[in-house]
Structure 1
Amino acid sequence: MDAEQERQPLVTLAEAREAVELLALFGQGDSDEARRAGQLASDIARRLPSVEDNPSDQGGP
Structure 2
Amino acid sequence: AHTGFISQNVYLFCASEGLSTVVRASINREELSKAMKLRPDQHIILAQTVGYPKK
User: Fold-level match, TM-score > 0.5?
Assistant: no
User: Taking structure 1 as the reference length, what is the TM-score of the superposition?
Assistant: 0.32
Give 1 or 2: higher helix fraction. 1
So what's the TM-score if we normalise by structure 2? 0.35
Greater length-normalized contact order (CA 8 Å, ≥ 6 residues apart): 2
Give the structure with the higher percent strand. 2
